[in-house]
Structure 1
């Protein structure tokens, strides 16, 4: 069932369907994409940085980065294009996370798995949770 919603960009009322923005914003986004694509397709502009594209086309930086992230503009064809890691904001060309964040998350998951295994083993052996105590050096 269709639902009424306000467009997150222009706040116009529209029937929410597959698109999350109103038809006018979809058309504007497509016009912006065509403008950017026609600019970077020119041989002399293939290595243009995002800020150069913004300056020459007038399209906002976040839209250009969204075009790259959604694979409408491929970094393989346009090597200076990138977007931000969803965790730290570092410039990346594919995926959602940079290599550093991926390694960090994998390490955390691995450590949590080891802790879960230790807890399960202690529970199986009848040991309670491990309690750690601190020693106050002031009383010595």
Structure 2
């Protein structure tokens, strides 16, 4: 039986890897930050992400992570939004705004069409060509 140990990416302490990728003290700290955010949101439904961060002293990045993980729901907080991962536009769900999502889908469809055209062209070229071995066999 081997024990897997690692340095915590947040604080640098050595810890035994288990359920989390960070040490137990950092897990506790994150849970306390989460509780602070929840408590503040219950009392201040109309706050923005920046206001929440300033009031709780929890980074915007960590709050955004809570939202993306589904730990914090912003459905009841009309002024709460966070940045799209690609362009930085304000969004309330997911990781990308609608414009980036549609652009990504468009690019994926173009790539799929290009691959289909390439395969069609390759199969057509195979039909046109001939094998020299077949021509030599015909002469015998």
After superposition, the C-alpha distances for 1:72-108 in whole angstroms (9 at most, x for unaligned) are 1111122222333232232222222211111111111
Question: Is 2:89 the counterpart of 1:90?
Answer: yes
Question: Any idea what SS the aligned residue of 2:34 has?
Answer: helix
Once residues 46 and 41 of structure 2 are traced to their aligned partners in structure 1, the CA distance between those partners, rounded to angstroms, is 8
Partner of 2:27: 26
Larger Rg: 2
More helix by share: 2
Partner of 2:130: none
Does the Cα contact within 8 Å between 1:85 and 1:97 map onto a contact in 2? yes
Q: Any residues of structure 2 matched to 1:98-117 within 5 Å, and which?
A: 98-117=97-116
Partner of 1:12: 13
Once residues 53 and 122 of structure 2 are traced to their aligned partners in structure 1, the CA distance between those partners, rounded to angstroms, is 59
Question: Is 2:125 the counterpart of 1:126?
Answer: yes
What's the TM-score, normalizing by structure 1?
Answer: 0.81
Structure 2 unaligned residues grouped into runs of 5+: 127-140
Once residues 83 and 2 of structure 1 are traced to their aligned partners in structure 2, the CA distance between those partners, rounded to angstroms, is 39
Question: Any idea what SS the aligned residue of 1:126 has?
Answer: helix
Structure 1 unaligned residues grouped into runs of 5+: 128-140
Once residues 89 and 18 of structure 1 are traced to their aligned partners in structure 2, the CA distance between those partners, rounded to angstroms, is 32
